[in-house]
Amino acid sequence: MAMLKAIHAQEDREAAEKKATDVVAKLKGMRLAKAARCVEEEASETLSYMAYPREHWIRIRTNNPLERIMREIRRWPRCVSDCGS
């Protein structure tokens, strides 16, 4: 997990792609060929947010706003039933 986070912690896409290559080599060295193949094939897709200006990265690389909305939707019926008593 730490290796995957390190890829996305890089300053720009070029550095992130270099780190992804390093992670793939390390995973292969650890005999995790399936994980290495997954990172190798999908890393560029997960870095697509880096094509946008840096100030937008945090908003596009995570789905936290969507998760918050879903949490509120799940919480709402409990709140209504508790408040209505």
What is the C-alpha to C-alpha distance for residues 16 and 7, in angstroms, rounded to an integer? 5
In which domain, by residue range, is 21 found?
2-83
Structure confidence by residue, pLDDT tens digits, 59-80: 776 666 667 777 777 777 666 6
What is the value of pTM for the model shown? Answer: 0.64
Backbone angles phi, psi at 12, to 5 degrees: -145, 175
What is the C-alpha to C-alpha distance for residues 78 and 81, in angstroms, rounded to an integer? 5
Q: How many domains does the chain have?
A: 1
47: left (phi over 0), alpha (psi -120 to 50) or beta: alpha
Structure confidence by residue, pLDDT tens digits, 41-53: 988 888 888 888 8
Q: What angle do CA 83, 70, 74 make, to 5 degrees?
A: 35
